[in-house]
Amino acid sequence: MCFLCCRTRRPVIRNRSNRRRHVAAPFQPSRRCRTIRCRAATFSVGADLMTKPLWASTRCSKLSAGGAKSSTLFVPRSAQVQCSDDGQRLVFVDDDAGSVSEVDVPSGAVTRTLATYEKQLFHPKISFSPDLKNVASDRPLTLVSGAVNSKTIQLKERNVRHVQWSRDSSEFFVISGRTGKTRPDILEMFNAHNQKIGSGNVPAQFLFRDGWFANSQALYLYLGSIDDEFGSGVILRCNIENWKCDQIARNVLGASVGGDGVLGMVRAVGKYSNDGEWITYPPRSVVEIRKGASQVVARQTFKSTERNAFHLAVAPSGTKAILTWHENTARRCPPEERQSELCRIGIKGGIMIDLSGELK
């Protein structure tokens, strides 16, 4: 099992305790990961309170299943990263170099280059199956060595926006955009032999943000409103057969899925607004983990004046999750230290959540 802990710095201008402005240009980010300052916290899991610090580093790092060991991994900032199902390897797609490389997670070393592609073609959609035996790509790949035992699936769809594999590597789905503002995105499902097994439209008036397999019969789709591109979204559970979608959550600010349909969400409690430049956080945020669409196994509510900008990542196994946040430290700083960077900017906090006892 592997978790990747990586953040990149974005300039932030603050004018209120719960409002932030993000500025993109002319800032040039580093190709390394930003330092993450992590602190312990408590999180309710059933009747228990779990407290465990999240390992912090200035680089991308792997947390083992026990949470105690780590390996330092160097990957380009812009790389797409995927873990193998055994947690011992990962692959990353480096758009700047036009290459796909493999990393041995325990040692943190890049072991080999798997494939190359024409880097003039920007924003590749290259997705490996969890067992790393298949790779779906929207552009031609050149396998570097005969020792690379991966089958390439050339996607025929145009304007591919997302590719997602099932946990057992037997199926994947592709989200493709259509021309015309009023035409919804289309979702198509394939087996590992690239045979089409189903399709359906993304519901009208929604923008696709992310999606996962809930199980072999259903998908989770995280969608945003076409009228509020950066605002909160909804999560739908869609049955693959006969393609029917039902909303199971709203006011969603982020989501992640692992295991057999273990769904993690961050939801706004109260008004949240984001126009792509200014963010106004809600009075409270609730972090919630469900087993399936409705069974809540962990939940905690946080005041946004104390913590905000939550990110929840569920492990591929579904037995653990990592929650990170931005923590406002100004109110706890003594007067003589309130102008320091730590007090003005705050810190990153985080916790690893053990769900293994709650999912039985």
Q: In angstroms, rounded to a whole number, what is the distance separating the alpha carbons of residues 163 and 151?
A: 16
With vertex at residue 279, the alpha carbon angle to CA 204 and CA 312, rounded to the nearest 5 degrees, is 75
What is the pLDDT at residue 148? 67
C-alpha pair distances (Å), 95 with each of 60, 98, 99, 152, 316? 18, 5, 7, 18, 24
* In-domain check, residue 208: no
Phi-psi region of 261 (alpha: psi -120 to 50; beta: other; left: phi over 0): left
pLDDT of amino acid 16: 43
- What is the C-alpha separation between 221 and 306, in angstroms, rounded? 30
**How remote is the C-alpha of 334 from its chain's centroid?**
36
Same domain, 243 and 323: yes
pLDDT of residue 190: 93
Rounded Cα–Cα distance for residues 264 and 245 (Å):
19
Residues 284 and 349 in one domain: yes
Whole-model pTM: value is 0.77
Q: Contact 86/62 with Cβ under 8 angstroms?
A: no
Q: Which residues of 307-319 are buried (b: 16+ CB within 10 A; e: fewer)?
A: bbbbbbbbbbbbb
Residue 348 lies in a domain: yes
Domain check: are 109 and 30 in the same one? no
330 lies in the same domain as 230:
yes
CA-CA distance, 98 to 120, in Å (whole number)? 8
Residue 28: its pLDDT value, please? 31
Do 263 and 308 reside in the same domain of the chain?
yes
The rounded distance, in Å, linking the Cα atoms of 4 and 313 is: 9
- Do 314 and 182 fall into the same domain? no
Is 207 part of a structural domain of the chain? no
The CA distance from 254 to 233, in Å, is 8
Residue 347, classed as helix, strand or coil, is: strand
* Burial track 66-76 (b if 16+ CB lie within 10 A, e otherwise): ebeebbebebb
Same domain, 247 and 352: yes
Same domain, 177 and 242: no
Same domain? 289 vs 342: yes
198 bridge partner residues: 189
- Cα 279 from Cα 80, distance rounded (Å): 26
Q: Which domain holds residue 354?
A: 1-74+217-360
R_g (Cα) of the chain, nearest Å: 21
Report the candidate in 321, 314, 346 with the shortest Cα–Cα distance to residue 20.
346
Number of domains in the chain: 2
| 175 and 301 assigned to the same domain | no
Task: Spell out, as residue ranges, where the chain has pLDDT lower than 50.
Answer: 4-17, 22-68
How distant, in Å, are the alpha carbons of 8, 14, 77, 173, 316 from that of 59?
10, 26, 10, 32, 21
Q: Give 216-224's long-range contacts (Cβ < 8 A, gap of 24+).
A: 216/166, 216/171, 217/241, 218/261, 219/173, 219/187, 220/255, 220/257, 220/261, 220/263, 221/187, 221/245, 222/252, 222/255
Pairing relation of β-strands 278-280 and 19-22?
antiparallel
CATH assignment of the domain containing 117: 2.130.10.10
pLDDT at 84: 83
